[in-house]
Amino acid sequence: MNKLRRVDDEPPFMTDSRAPLAQTTVTSLRVVEALDEHGRLGVTALAAELDLAKGTVHKHVTTLERLGYVVKEDREYRLGLGFLGVGVNSQRRLDVYRVGRGPTDRLSKATDTVASLMVAEHGRGRYAYRVPHGDEYELAHHEGDVLPLHATAGGKAILAYTPADRREEILESHGLPPMTEHTITDRDAFREELRSVRDTRTAYDREELLDGWHCVAAPITNEEGDAVAAVSVSAETEFGDASKRTQDVPGLVISTATAIENKLRSP
Amino acid sequence: MNKLRRVDDEPPFMTDSRAPLAQTTVTSLRVVEALDEHGRLGVTALAAELDLAKGTVHKHVTTLERLGYVVKEDREYRLGLGFLGVGVNSQRRLDVYRVGRGPTDRLSKATDTVASLMVAEHGRGRYAYRVPHGDEYELAHHEGDVLPLHATAGGKAILAYTPADRREEILESHGLPPMTEHTITDRDAFREELRSVRDTRTAYDREELLDGWHCVAAPITNEEGDAVAAVSVSAETEFGDASKRTQDVPGLVISTATAIENKLRSP
DNA sequence: GCCAACCGTTCACGATTCATGAACAAGCTT
DNA sequence: AAGCTTGTTCATGAATCGTGAACGGTTGGC
C-alpha cells in the first residue's frame, strides 16, 4: 500500500553517520508498519513477518496498545486512529497546507480534476493535501503517501527549483527507478527534463508514475526561488493537447502556485 | 491541541496487567507527542520538556529522523508527514469509514452542517471522519482526535448501545470529567441520559463539550445491536427547536445511520 | 569583531531492560 | 473431548539504553 520506503529498507540518504539508533524504537515502528501494510495481524503472523520471537512482538504490540496506538480485536492487533491524530496535526501545521488548501480546492473545481499539494522530505515526495475529484473516492495515492520525486510532476517541479548540489545529492541517493515504462530513467535525459521544467515553470508527468494517469505541476517557491512545495492536477487525460477542456489547465496550475506563494510570503 | 490523553498520563483503562512495557518505545512516542504538541523543538527544549538527558533525546530524535518520521530543519526537529501516511491508511481500512463516507457527505450537504463519524477506542471517542462544513476550515476537532465519550453526542450514542458491563467499565475508568459547565458529571444523571438516548435512538450534546456547539448523533450498530460507531452533525444552533431549518435534522441523522448499517451488513 | 553563552552532537560507562526460547494457558476446530 | 494453534508469561544472558560530561559550531550581545 505504501511500499516505496520502509524501515527495514536501508535508508539511502544516510550511508554515513554511524550514530547508533534506538533499536527498540526501530522494532516498534517495524511492527507499526507491518500492521499498516497488512491491516490486522496476530502475534504469530507478525513474528513471522518480522523475523522476531513471539514474546518480543507481544511486548511491542502491548506497549503500543497501552499507549493508545494499537487496538486489540479478538486475538489480533490492528492500528487504531492514534497516528491519524498525530498525522493530521503535523499536516495542519504545514504552512503550505494551511494557506494552500483553499487555492487547491478552487483549482480542483475549476479544472474538474484531482488537485494535490506535494512537499519533499528526505529526498522523497509526500502528498500534503489531495482533493478527491467529485465522488471519486478511490485514488491510488493519498495524503501522507510517499512517492519518488523523479516520477511525478510535483516532484519534478520541486527538483527543478532545488539548489543544484542538493538536487544531485538526491539523484545520487535515490536514483531513477522505473515506475512504469514511461518513467525517465536516464540521468542526462532527466536533467534535460528539469531544464525544460525551468523554461516554462511547468512540469509534466506522462504516465511516468501510474499507467493511464497524466499530471501537470508548478513549483511553489520561497523568496530565494527554491521550491518548498508543488501544486499539481492529475487526470486520465493528456494535458496540453488539442482538447479545449485541458488546454488552459497548465495556466491555472501556475496561477494557483503563484497565489499560494503570495499568501505564503505575507503573514 | 490534543490534550485529553497522552503517553505521560497514566492510562486509566489498565490499572492491572503489570506486564513490562518497551520503555524505549514509550520514550520515543513521548518525543513524538511532544513534537506533535509543540510543533518544532530543539534537543534542549525537548529534553527539558520530557525531563531527559540531551543525549537521550538526540538519539530518539535522530532515530525517528532516519526512519522518515521526523524532519530536521535548521537546528530544530519537527514531525514529517510519515504518520499522516500511516494514519490515513488505518482510517481507510476502517469499514465504517469506507462505507460511511458517502452517506456522511450527503448528510452534511442536506443539513448544511459539519457531519462526523466517531468510533470508540480504549473507552474514548475518536473522529474517524469529518466533513468540514463549506469553507469552514477551522474546526476545533479533527479526524483522529480523541474526545471523551460522555461529553459528545456520538459518544453517548455509542455508550447507550454498548453492553452494560463494558459501559460501566468505561464509566469507572474514565469518569465524567467536566468539559464545559453543561457537561453531565453526575453518574446517575448520565445513566438516565443514556436511557433517553435508547428511547429515541438519538443522542444530543447541548454545549457539553464545547461552548456554543450543539450536536445530534445516532448509533451505528451491528447485528447484535451493539454500537460500532456513530454519525453526528454539529452546529452552532440548537437542534430540535422551533426553527424549521433544524427540525428534521435528527431524522436525517438517524436515516444516515441506518443507511450505513445496511451497507455494513451486506458485503 | 570578538567573546561568551548556547546549542546540537558525541562518547564511555554502568545499569537497565530488551530479545530469546521454552513453557503455559486459553481458544477454536474437529 | 482431544489436539492443534494461538496469545501470554517468564528467567536468563546479552545487548543497548540513558546518563553526564566534554566537544565543536553557531549565534547573539557587547
Task: Among all protein residues, pick the one whose CA is nearest to the C1' atom of C11.
Answer: B55
B7 touches strand D (CB under 7 A): no
State the pLDDT confidence band at B243, using cuts at 50, 70 and 90.
low
Per-residue pLDDT at A114: 95
Q: Which nucleotide has the least CA–C1' distance to A77?
A: D7
At B245, the pLDDT band (50, 70, 90 cuts) reads low
pLDDT at A207 over 80: yes
Q: In strand C, which positions have an atom below 7 A from any protein CB?
A: 6-12, 16-23, 27-28
Three-state secondary structure call for residue A100:
helix
CA distance A84 to chain B (A): 4
Which whole number is the average pLDDT over A166-175?
95
Q: Is residue B14 part of a domain?
A: no
pLDDT tier at A247, thresholds 50, 70, 90: low
Convert chain B into a string of H (helix), E (strand) and C (coil): CCCCCCCCCCCCCCCCCCCCCCHHHHHHHHHHHHHHHHCCECHHHHHHHHCCCHHHHHHHHHHHHHCCCEEEECCEEEECCHHHHHHHHHHHHCHHHHHHHHHHHHHHHHHCCEEEEEEEECCEEEEEEEECCCCCCCCCCCCCCEECHHHCHHHHHHHHCCCHHHHHHHHHHHCCCCCCCCCCCCHHHHHHHHHHHHHHCCEEEECCCCCCCEEEEEEEECCCCCEEEEEEEEECCCCCCCCHHHHCHHHHHHHHHHHHHHHHHCC
Q: Which domain holds residue B207?
A: 94-265
- Looking at the structure, do residues A246 and A127 belong to the same domain, yes or no? yes
Same domain, B246 and B123: yes
Within 8 A of B11 by CB-CB distance, chain A residues are 66-68
Q: Which of B183, B161, B159, B180 is nearest to B170 (CA)?
A: B159
B162 and B75 assigned to the same domain? no
A76 touches strand D (CB under 7 A): yes
CB A145 to CB B88 under 8 A?
yes
Q: How far is the CA of B136 from the C1' of D21 (A)?
A: 52
Protein-to-nucleotide distance from the CA of B55 to the C1' of D20, whole angstroms:
9
CA distance A165 to chain B (A): 18
> Residues B137, B224: one domain?
yes
Partner residue opposite B25 with nearest CB, options A28, A128, A145? A28
Q: Which of residues A66, A85, A104 is at a domain's end? A: A85
Q: Are residues B34 and B126 in the same domain?
A: no
Q: Is the confidence at residue A32, as pLDDT, over 70?
A: yes
With distances taken from each CA to the C1' atom of nucleotide D21, the closest residue turns out to be B55
Nearest C-alpha in B relative to A101: B137
pLDDT at B9 over 90: no
- What is the domain-level CATH number for residue A64? 1.10.10.10
Establish if B71 belongs to a structural domain. yes
User: Is A61 in the same domain as A189?
Assistant: no
In a domain, A176, yes or no: yes
| DSSP 8-class letter at A219 | E
pLDDT tens digits for range A91-149: 999 999 999 999 999 999 999 999 999 999 999 999 999 998 866 668 999 999 999 99
In a domain, A192, yes or no: yes
Instruction: Give me the CA B34–C1' C18 separation in Å, rounded.
Output: 25
Burial tier of A221 (Cβ tally within 10 Å: 0-12, 13-18, 19+): buried
In a domain, A168, yes or no: yes
Contacts of A143 in chain B (CB under 8 A): 81, 84-85, 88
In a shared domain, residues A29 and A108: no
The residue among B38, B58, B85 that closes a domain is B85
Query: CA(A54)–C1'(C20) in Å?
Result: 9
What phi and psi values does residue B249 have, to the nearest 5 degrees? -60, -50
- CATH (domain of B147): 3.30.450.40
Whether A234 and A149 map to the same domain: the answer is yes
Whether A209 maps to a domain, the answer reads: yes
Interface test with A, best of B61, B90, B118 (most A CBs within 10 A): B90
Residue B258's pLDDT is what? Answer: 97
- What is the distance of C-alpha B138 from the center of its chain? 17
Residue numbers in A near B28 (CB within 8 A): 22, 24-25, 28
Overall number of domains in chain A? 2
Position A17 in a domain: no
pLDDT of residue A10: 35
Same domain for B248 and B182:
yes
Percent of chain A with pLDDT over 90: 81
CB contact under 8 A, A81 and B87: yes
pLDDT digits (tens, 9 = 90+) for B177-235: 999 999 999 999 999 999 999 999 999 999 999 999 999 999 999 999 999 999 999 99
Please indicate whether, in this complex, the C-beta atoms of A87 and B84 are within 8 angstroms of each other. Answer: yes
Identify whether B57 is part of a domain. yes
Average pLDDT, integer, range A68-82: 96
B60 Cβ nearer than 7 Å to chain D strand: yes
At B267 the pLDDT is 65
Among A85, A112, A129, give the residue marking a domain's end: A85
Chain position carrying cell 522530505: A121
- Count other Cβ atoms within 10 Å, centred on residue A206: 16
Specify whether B78 is located in the same domain as B100: no
Give B84's contacts in chain A (Cβ within 8 Å).
84, 87-88, 90-91, 126, 143-144
Question: Both B221 and B154 in a single domain?
Answer: yes
Å from B118 (CA) to C8 (C1')?
42
Q: Encode pLDDT of A137-165 as tens digits.
A: 689 999 999 999 999 999 999 999 999 99
Q: How far is CA A69 from the centre of its chain?
A: 23
Test the A interface: residue of B67, B91, B166 with most A CBs within 10 Å: B67
Shared domain for A121 and A228, answered yes or no, is yes
pTM above 0.85, yes or no: yes
Q: What is the mean pLDDT of residues A231-245?
A: 74
Which of B22, B28, B68 lies nearest to residue A5, judging by beta carbons? B68
The packing angle between helices B23-38 and A54-66, to 10°, is 30
